Amino acid sequence: MGLNICMIGAGSWGTALANLLAGKGCCVRVWDLDAGLLAALAKDRENKKYLPGVMLQGSVEIVGTAAGAAAGADFLVTAVPAQHVRSALETVLPALDQNRESGKGTMLVNVAKGIEQGSLSTISEVAGQVAPQHPYSILSGPSHAEEVGRGMPTTVACASGRKEVCEAVQDLFMTDRFRVYASHDVKGVELGGSLKNIIALGAGILDGMGHGDNTKAALMTRGLTEMARLGVALGAKRETFFGLSGIGDLIVTCTSMHSRNRRCGIMIGEGVPPQEAVARVGMVVEGVTTAQAAHDLARKTGVEMPITESVCAVVRGDVKPEAALASLMTREKKHESEDLRV
The residue-averaged pLDDT of 90-96 equals 96
131 shares its domain with 229: no
pLDDT value, residue 281? 96
Report the number of distinct structural domains present in the chain. Answer: 2
Mean pLDDT of 47-73: 96
Q: Strand, helix or coil at 323?
A: helix
- pTM for this entry: 0.94
In a shared domain, residues 44 and 95: yes
Q: What percent of the chain has pLDDT over 70?
A: 98
171 and 193 inside one domain = no
Say yes or no: 311 and 173 in one domain.
no
CATH number, domain at 260?
A: 1.10.1040.10
CATH of the domain at 27: 3.40.50.720
Chain segment 185-228, per-residue pLDDT in tens: 999 999 999 999 999 999 999 999 999 999 999 999 999 999 99
Cβ–Cβ under 8 Å, residues 326 and 215: no
Q: Do 134 and 20 belong together in one domain?
A: yes
Q: Are residues 217 and 179 in the same domain?
A: no
- Answer whether residue 296 shows pLDDT above 50: yes
Domain that holds residue 208: 188-340
Do 144 and 266 fall into the same domain?
Answer: no
Catalytic residue among 49, 196, 320, 334: 196
Cα separation values, 35 from 17, 63, 297, Å: 20, 10, 35
pLDDT digits (tens, 9 = 90+) for 115-160: 999 999 999 999 999 999 999 999 999 999 999 999 999 999 999 9
Same domain, 51 and 124: yes
User: Which of 171, 107, 161 lies closest to 134, judged by CA?
Assistant: 107
Q: How many CA atoms lie within 13 A of 271 on its CB side?
A: 1
Measured on CA atoms in the order 51, 57, 58, 63, is the torsion positive or negative?
Answer: negative
Q: According to the model, what pLDDT value does residue 341 have?
A: 47
Considering the domain architecture, whether residues 178 and 209 belong to the same structural domain is answered as: no
CA–CA gap between residue 15 and residue 38 (Å, rounded)? 11
Query: Do 193 and 239 lie in a common domain?
Result: yes
- What CA–CA distance (Å, rounded) separates 176 from 22? 15
Q: What are the φ and ψ backbone dihedral angles of 118, each rounded to 5 degrees?
A: 85, -70
196 noted as active-site residue: yes
Q: In what order do the strands lie in the sheet with 136-140?
A: 60-62, 27-31, 4-8, 75-78, 107-110, 136-140, 154-159, 178-183
264 with 130, same domain? no
Other beta carbons within 10 Å of 170: 16
CA–CA separation, 81 vs 126, rounded Å? 13
Please compute Rg for the chain using Cα positions.
20
Q: What is the pLDDT of residue 342?
A: 44
Which alpha helices (H) appear in 210-259, and where do they start and end? 213-233, 249-255
Per-residue pLDDT tens over the stretch 266-294 = 999 999 999 999 999 999 999 999 999 99
23 pLDDT exceeds 60?
yes
254 and 300 both lie in a single domain: yes
